[in-house]
Structure formats: structure tokens, C-alpha cells
Chain A
Amino acid sequence: MKDVHPARLTVNGRVHEVEVESRRTLADVLRHDLGYTGTHLGCEHGICGACTVLLDGLPVRACLVFGVQADGCEVETVEGLESEGKLNALQEAFSAHHGLQCGFCTPGFLMLATAFLRENADPTEEEVREAMSSNLCRCTGYQGIIEAVQAAAGNRAEAAVEEEVATEASEDRRVEGVSPLRDAGDHEQ
């Protein structure tokens, strides 16, 4: 008999209750049990990063996390990036800078960059390259991806400055409940 466990996941703000076999990966739970097929599997051994999602705000390889490990966690996937049918600044920047061709690795890069930009709102090109080198893209040669992340960072930085001027608020703009990358010990793969 299968070794099945109940798990409760919040994906992009929506709560799901599932029964998962203990060996079933988070990627398979998201894709095949819950229908979040935007998360892609490129290698299933943690190298390519196509399956990158955010688990409690931190980028993880969904192929290296079991579904049951996500019990009680907040999961963010590519499907959660747009709002009201509008692409966010990072998504727009990927298109504007030709940061995708086949689009298979793209959701992983978008999630990786989302977490990276929350941590480092105004990165240098070197820092972007370093961070983006944890995922593989076979089509673009990375140039468009690097430019897109830098452009999105620029937009964010500008937006943040405007916001600051407008509201005199200097609060961290990160989503509530999302911990910064450097405190990521528990979820590192």
C-alpha cells in the first residue's frame, strides 16, 4: 500500500489540502495534483532550477522537496506573479529584453529573480550574473535574462524611491511573512 500523508499547502495565497505519497515531490504535487503546470521539471536532480518555486519566500528546487515537506508552508509559483491579468515588472522586463525563447526555464528564472530582488533591490551586473548562474537556460545565452533582471531592479528601485518620497515610508517592501534569503538555512537544498 502507498504511504500517504495529508498536507495543507498555501499556493499563491490559496489553501489546498492534499493526500500525498511520502516520496512524491513538491513539483509533482504542484503540477499534477494541483494543476500549477507553470512550474517545470528539467532535470529532477537539482541542477537546472527550472522547477524553482518560493517556499516561505525562499527559492527551492521543487524537485528536491517532497510534497509533505511543504505541509503548512506558503508556496509561490509563476502563476502568482501577475495581478488582475497584468504582468508584473519582472515579467514585462523578460519580454522587453528577449529574456526567453522556448520559455521552459523561464518560470524558474522568474521565481529565482523574484527572491533575489527582494533580497537585493539594486544589484550590480556581476551580482545578477552570480545569482542567475544557479539556473540553466539553453536558449538565450543569458544576456536577455541578465538585462531583464537589472531592468526590473531599476524599476523597483525607482518605484521604491517614488514611494518613499510620496509616503515618507522607509519600510521594507517585502511581502509580509517572507523571510530574507540569508535566513534561509532550513530550506536550502
Chain B
Amino acid sequence: MSAVGRRIGRLEDRRLLRGLGHFVDDVNLAGQLWMRVLRAPLAHARIEGIDAEAALAFPGVEAVLTGEDLEGIPPIPVRTASEHRLDEFLQPVLASERVRYVGEPVAVVVADDPYLAEDAAELIEVSYEALPVALDAREAVEADAPQLRDEAGNEAATLSMGYGDVEEAFRRAARVVEAEVKIGRHSGVPLETRGLVAEYDGGSDHLTIWGSTKVPHFNRRVLSRLMEMPLSRISMKKSDAGGGFGVRGEFYPEDFLVPYLARETGRPVKWIEDRQENLVATNHSREQTHRLQAAFDEENRLLGLRDEVWHDNGAYIRTHGVIVADLTLAMLPGPYRVPAYEGTAHVALTNKTPCGTFRGPGRYESTFAREHLLDVAAAQLGVSRLELRRINLLDASEIPHARGLSTLSTDVILDAGDYGGLLEKALLQSGFEDWEREVRELREEGRLLGTGVGYFLEKSGLGPYEEAAVEVDPTGSVRVLTGGASLGQGIETVLAQIAAEELEVPPEEIEVVHTDTDLLPDGVGSWASRSTVVGGSAVMLAAKATAEKALRVAAELLEASVDDLRLGESRVEVAGSPDRHLSLGEIAAACDPQSSAAMGEEPGLGARRTFSVEHMTYPYGVHLAQVEVDPETGGVKIRRYFVAYEVGRAVNPTLVEGQLIGGAAQGIGGALLEEFRYDASGQPLASTFIDYLEPTAAEVPRVGTLICEDAPSPDNPLGVKGAGEGGVVGCGAAIASAVEDALGVPGEISSLPITPDRVRTLARRKSEAGE
């Protein structure tokens, strides 16, 4: 029975349901110290002096570090290649002369227990001279704004991309439509905060680290450089991770401080971020303002698009460089036929927490911006929202479609798709006509209901490569090693299914090992919806090679021709003579080094393979929403929600649905609830879960899903497209569209999150206009 495509239960579940997962805070080592970070209380200030005497004298305190102690340690480098010069904007491990956001690490204490470490950190006295703050991206890049740095300005980079003759498109236009949109600052905020445990073995000069995830191999290389240690003397060990969403696993200051202090003190060091730290220290995301223009001809066809973006990146450039702004511009044209396009993005630095990627980076933002513009256009051109999309979606016959621009160092080539076809399927499957009928009926009763649509283009499967190995031991146990990481997405199950398909072994019997740099020294990691696409393809190749070797070796042992052998049910048998067979374990036992050499084979039953890919693969989909607005409270209730998604091929449809539904919950949070606000002095106003509102079961509706497998990717042997981010990408667009429709105010919901205040104002205006 085929393993790929089946809704098998997750292999991760048994341990997690029994409380037997191994999260980083579950790692406790004898004699370990606990680290506490002292963070800046001001958004922008000069450090005048630090007095750590009292903290050092505190019983149980082992060491205190300040910026002065780390002179010569370079700042944290950017992970992704960039043509922009960003060196001046990178974050130091500890601030030395200046702090630039509330939450910036200023000093660290290690002590015998976490309570003591926290007490001692409070005894460190830092004197600050407050400086004026820059908090708005658009103002920050003006010449008279307060400057975050003496030498460099506040605009870290200016990106531009495009193609076609935009001037000409706008000159020829029958109608030009404009819009300005704003996306609020929110982020992944996983339920498990960050953490790290490091143990240094002075006898063998070896570091072992638990808690690194997402990109363990990259982080190991950074650490090797910053600590001047050989790669082979640093081991990253796997742990479970309580959600990633883009923010967890990047190299942050603490990723240096914990191992560094372990080496300095000779004792294991543990750090577990608390939630208040997490909300000011871990990457924020999303905050952008867009000014858009679209040119249409007489038939409502797009001739050209322009977008100018102000991207608020917070105080520093972190490991993501400027890729969020880059993706925003590259994905803005989305699934539409756009003959000419010009996008510019100002990456502005402000006195707020630095930003990085959060699930659907650049797509949540640009999808909302573009779809909002199309809704405004539909109203102005006098055409329905759906009709305008039908007119402008790229036709199946136009795909593959080269966009004429590149992002993440790869050309954007839309690989396979039928965008219009998916829209019609989604409308049918969701019963969208019934949703609209229901809206009309309930409006008769004076209620405020509306529907919304958000069409999106996704990208996934970023290269350049991924590593995988398959090993069968003499007991017949199968182990898959991957360069990916487990963040809760179900990678163990999916990779086991892919290996099972090739090896004819039950997936439940396969162990998947991730994040172990000793067992698999190279890998690219789990991000950019790449694990199933690139990592899965590598596993497929390794498993296929293992199966082929099993047949070759069995042919020797059974004295049969490979062509007469059949692999199935964890064994190889001779076709037509089922009594002549060998189990995979028996074949593995026969692959000892000596026998292997005699057979002209490498030792062991298994294979290591790399899958490389040049271009990304582009999934797509549509979000549909039906909402009701309460004009008194300004509350928005999502009554119905539906996500349709083209995934190429679903290795495990249940897990794909889970990604879509869970993603939608996060997107709904960003559309209605979640925002990192700041006061005028740059103090964060959302540093607890009382103020940062993650949606609960009361706010998230039942989400209907449709998974399509109509356009398999031609760029990988599985035909898969990534599934991790499509659930979140269309939410802002669909919900804003629905709220506008409910209030009958096209173009007025141009800012996310949609606040009760805004909704009440518009509802009042509508009711006054009606009277």
C-alpha cells in the first residue's frame, strides 16, 4: 500500500501526548548555571556606565558579562546572501555604547539557579542618557529624523525591482487606481519561548548544544566563527520545538552568549527566555506601509503596477537581512497578468525590536496590499471583485510564466498552475454563493454582514539543496537522517512516509533524526516551506538508492537476477518463489565492511543523497471569508472561512489541512487582534499575553479547506509544493475585504489589524449616511 498520500497518524504524537517530548527546558545537566539577560529599559540611549559589583558579589553568581567583555566579537552576520551592504546595521551580541530598542541585551548573569540569576541581574546598575527616538518608518528615513547611528543613516537599504515599461502603461491607462495600506507589527510568537543549553567539555575542547533549531548547521558555522572553534568540535543536538513560524532558531545574541559562557565558566549553561523577554527580544515582523497604483485599460485589464514600500525593520538588521522587503516586492504582482511593474522598498531602521521573517513573510503583506488595491479598483471600475480577478489572473496557458524579476537570488518562474480553475473550485466547494445569499438575507434584518476574497501566490521549496541519509541496521530498523529540523510541522511523519514508499517498510517503523550535526554534518534547514519539497526529495533519493542496493545485495546472496527480485513488506523475495527471501535486516547484516568490499559495495545498507534545486516552486490559493460586524462594539465575528490551496501533491493530506487551518488562525490574529504597539517614547505596549492577543478557540472559526493536486511541481521528483505558509498568507486580504463589504465602505479598511475603533467609526458613518 502506498505510503505517500495517506492520512497516517503522526509519529510525533505518541511522545508528545504522553509528556515525553524533549523540549529544550527539559534538558537539565548536573552543575548547570542559569543565564539571565539584562535588557535595555529605554528605546534609545547612550550607555554612560555599568556597575556590576553588587551582582558579582551576590551568593550563587558565577559571572557577569557586559559589552566591554566582548570587544572584538563581531556582530551577528546575515544568513542569506545579499547584494546590499548591511555591516553597519548588524546587531552586536551585547550593546556597548548605545541601546537602540527596549529589550536589547546589555549584560548577562549566570548563577546557580534561575531565580538567583534574575535577582542578581536586577542588581546591575546601568546609567543611561536618553536620546530622541525614531519610531515611524516613513519619518525615520527623512533627513531630520533622530539618527540611530552616527555614521550610517536610518535607511539600511533601498530595494527596487520591476520589468516592462511602467511609464508607458500608466500613460496608456484608461483608469488609474491608487491605494495606501498599512500592515501592523506582529509576529510568530510560538507558545514555547526560545532557550538554549550548552555544555563545554574542557578535556576534549568540545561544545554540545541543545535547543538550536530551524537552521542548526548554519548556526554551527556562525558559532564556529564567533568562538574561533573548529566546526567538528561543535555538536548540535535535537530537541522538540514548541513552534517555529520563522522566528525560532535564527542566530540571536543568546545563541552566542550561552555557549560562550559555558566555555568561559566550564559549567553547563542554560537559558530559557521568559515571555516578557520573548515579546521584546525575539523577531517581530510584518510592519509596512504601501503606496500603490494600478493602471487599467478599458476592459479592466491591468496594464501596470507601482508600489512604494516603507518597511519598518526595527533597530538592527538581523540574520534575515532584507529578505522580507525583497519578497514583498517580488511577490506583489502575485498570480495576475501584470505587463509592467515597478516596486521600491525603503528598509527603515527604528527604535523598536528588530524584525525578521514570520510565516508567509512578504506575502501576507503584499497579498493584503494588492488584493486591497483590486477591491478599490473593482469599486471604482464598477465591476465585481471576483470578475476583476477572473479578468486578470494568469491563464493556465500562460504558465510557466517568467516574472522578469528575482528574489532570494533565484529568478521568479511560476512553474505550474491553473489559477482561475482553483478560484472556481473554491467558490463551488465552499458554497460561496450560499454565503452571499445568507449575507443578503441577514442584511434585510439590519445586520452588517459581508464576504471577502483574498487570492494569493505562494512560494516554496527554496534551494539550494538538502541532505538526507537512509540507514538500515542489521535488526532491520530503518533510520532517516535529514538536514531539516522539527518545529512541530510533522516533518518526522512526512519524511518517514516518503522513505516508506521507496523501501516498502511501514512508516511507523521508521525513525527520523533531525538536527544532529554529528550524524549529518551538512544541511540547509527548515524554513521557506522547503522541508517536504527539498528535504523530502533528498530522502526519496536516499531511500531509492537504499532500495536499489538492497536488491543488488540480495541478488548476490540469493543468487538471482535483480530483475527477478521484488521488494515488499520489509523484505526482498524472488518473484514466483516466495520461500526464497531475505529481510532488510538480513541484507544489512550482509553489508558488513568486509563483505561489502568483496561485493564492490560501500559498507552498510543505506545511502546519503543531496537534492539540489535551482528555482522555487509556486503554490497558490484563495481565502474566502464571511464576517459579521457589531456596530456597537466594533467587534468582527468571522462566521465562515475557507482556504483552497494547490499543493502539487499532498504527502499526508491531514497534515496539509492542519497547516492551512493553523496558518489561518495566525493570519486571523494579524488581521484582527495581534499588534506590537509602542508609546511615543518607544516603550512597548504589548509585552504580556494580556496585551498581545493571540486568538483563542473563541475567536477562530471552523476553517473549511480544499487541497488541490492539479498542478504538481515539475522541479522535484515528488511533484510537491510547500504547504507551510499558504494558510496565513490570504487572511489579511480576505478579512479586510469582508469587513469592507459588511460596512459597504470599499477602500476604507486599509490598515491591519482592523481595530474595533475603526470599525465603530465606519459603522457610525454608515448609519448616519443612511438616516
Contact = CB atoms under 8 A, between A and B. Distances in A.
B45 interface: no
Contacts of A81: 17-18
Contacts of B188: 138
Nearest to B666: A138
Interface stretch (A38-46, A151-159, A170-178, A179-187): A38-46
B662 A141 contact: yes
Contact of A36 (B9, B15, B19, B489): B19
Interface in B19-78: 19-21, 23, 25-26, 28
A15 B523 CA distance: 46
A110 B662 contact: no
Given A40-B242, A102-B241, A146-B697, A79 B19 contact: yes
A42 B189 CA distance: 10
Given A37-B19, A129-B697, A141-B700, A103 B12 contact: yes
A140 interface: yes
B661 A140 contact: yes
Nearest to A131: B697
A42 B658 contact: no
Given A95-B9, A104-B488, A87 B662 contact: no
B642 interface: no
Nearest to A92: B17
B20 to A, nearest CB: 7
A24 interface: yes
B603 interface: no
Interface string B113-147: 00100000000000000000000000000000000
Main secondary structure of the interface of B (DSSP, over half): loop
B190 interface: yes
Given A103-B240, A139-B243, A140-B658, A110 B17 contact: yes
A91 B661 CA distance: 21
Contacts of A168: none
Interface string B673-714: 000000000000000111000101111101100000000000
B191 interface: yes
Contacts of B13: 94-95, 100, 103
B274 interface: yes
A98 B657 contact: yes
A82 B245 CA distance: 31
- A36, A82, A100, A145 interface centre (most CB from chain B within 10 Å): A100
Interface in B688-745: 688-690, 694, 696-700, 702-703, 727
A104 B191 contact: yes
Residue among A38, A107, A133, A134 having the largest count of chain B Cβ atoms under 10 Å: A38
Contacts of B184: none
Interface string A106-146: 11001000000000000000000110111111111111111
Contact of A21 (B25, B115, B490, B662): B115
Interface string B327-369: 0000000000000000000000000000000000000000000
Contacts of B490: 101
B21 A98 contact: no
A142 B12 CA distance: 18
A87 B9 CA distance: 14
B661 A129 contact: no
Contacts of A100: 13, 16-17
Contacts of A144: 658, 661
Interface in B244-298: 245, 272, 274-275
B654 interface: yes
Interface in A79-97: 79, 81-82, 87, 91, 94-96
A48 B689 contact: yes
B655 to A, nearest CB: 7
A55 interface: no
Contacts of A75: none
A106 to B, nearest CB: 6
A135 B191 CA distance: 11
B238 to A, nearest CB: 14
A101 B488 contact: yes
B115 A105 contact: no
A38 B20 contact: yes
B666 A24 contact: no
A138 B664 contact: no
A138 B191 contact: yes
A35 to B, nearest CB: 9
A101 to B, nearest CB: 4
B447 interface: no
A32 interface: yes
B402 to A, nearest CB: 35
B665 interface: yes
A44 B15 CA distance: 24
A101 B25 CA distance: 18
Given A87-B17, A140-B661, A32 B697 contact: no
B104 to A, nearest CB: 22
Contact of B700 (A47, A110, A142): A142
Nearest to A107: B19
A136 B689 contact: yes
B355 to A, nearest CB: 19
B489 A101 contact: yes
A110 B20 CA distance: 14
A44 B663 CA distance: 25
Contact of B488 (A38, A78, A102, A142): A102
Instruction: Tell me which of B490, B662, B665, B666 has the highest count of chain A C-beta atoms within 10 A of its own C-beta.
Output: B662
Given A79-B18, A141-B663, 8 more contacts: A47-B689, A94-B13, A94-B17, A95-B10, A101-B490, A103-B15, A105-B242, A139-B658
27 contacts: A37-B25, A38-B18, A38-B19, A42-B192, A42-B275, A78-B19, A87-B14, A98-B658, A100-B13, A100-B16, A101-B243, A102-B192, A103-B17, A103-B488, A104-B21, A104-B242, A132-B697, A136-B694, A138-B189, A138-B190, A138-B243, A139-B191, A139-B243, A141-B727, A143-B702, A145-B697, A146-B697
Interface of A: 21, 23-24, 31-32, 36-45, 47-48, 50, 77-79, 81-82, 87, 91, 94-96, 98, 100-107, 110, 129-130, 132-146
